Amino acid sequence: MSQEAPADNDALLRRHGLQVTAQRLAVLRAVSDRPHSTADDIDKVVRSEIGAISRQAVYDALGTLTEKGVLRRIQPAGSPARYENRVGDNHHHLICRACNRMVDVDCAVGETPCLTAADDWGYEIDEAEVIYWGRCPECVAAASASSGE
Ligand SMILES: [Zn+2]
Ligand SMILES: [Zn+2]
C-alpha cells in the first residue's frame, strides 16, 4: 500500500462512496496518526484540532468510516473498541494485559491461512480476528525488575 498524503484521503472517501467532510477527514487523519486508538482518544484529538465538532459527530464519523471499510474496528474482550486504517490484510494484534498497548502482527503463516477454519460449517468466511494476549517487553522487564531479579 502506498503512503497516503492528506489529499489522498479525499479520494479514499470518494472511492468508498462517502461525501468528503471536514469531520470525516479529521477523524481519518487522527486514526492514521495513531492507529489502535479508542473512540475516546480519537474524539480528543479531533476536537483539539477542529473544535466545533460534537462528540456524537466524531462517533458517527467513526461508525460510518468503519461500516464502509475505510477503517477497521477491533473489539478486544473487556476493553473499548480500537480503530485503525490498516484494512483488508487480515493482520492480527498483540495486546499487553498490563498496559493495554496494542501492536500489529502479520498473519501467523503466509497468505491468510487463518481464513481456513478447521470446519467452516458452510459459512463463506471473509475475515478472521486473532488477538494474542500477554505482556509487552517493557511490562515484563518492569515486573522482573520489581521482583528483584
Ligand atoms: Zn505493557
Ligand atoms: Zn492493527
**How far does residue 140's CA lie from ligand 1's centre (Å)?**
7
**How far does residue 146's CA lie from ligand 2's centre (Å)?**
31
Burial bucket for residue 133 (CB in 10 Å: 0-12, 13-18, 19+): exposed
**How far does residue 96's CA lie from ligand 1's centre (Å)?**
5
pLDDT tens digits, 30-70: 999 999 999 999 999 999 988 889 999 999 999 999 999 99
**How far does residue 97's CA lie from ligand 1's centre (Å)?**
7
pLDDT tens digits, 73-85: 999 988 899 999 9
What pTM was estimated for this model as a whole? 0.80
Residue 128's nearest CA partner among 114, 142, 138 is 114
CA 96, 2, 62, 131 torsion: positive or negative? Answer: negative
Residue 15's alpha-carbon distances to 9, 10, 18, 121, 133, in angstroms, are 10, 9, 7, 34, 35
**How far does residue 148's CA lie from ligand 2's centre (Å)?**
34
Cell matching residue 22: 471536514
Q: Which residue has the cell 484529538?
A: 45
Most confident range (mean pLDDT) of 99-108, 109-118, 138-147 is 138-147
**How far does residue 128's CA lie from ligand 2's centre (Å)?**
13
Neighbouring residues of 102: CB distance < 8 A, sequence distance ≥ 6: 36, 74, 76, 82, 93, 94, 95, 96
Q: How many CB atoms are closer than 10 A to CB 128?
A: 14
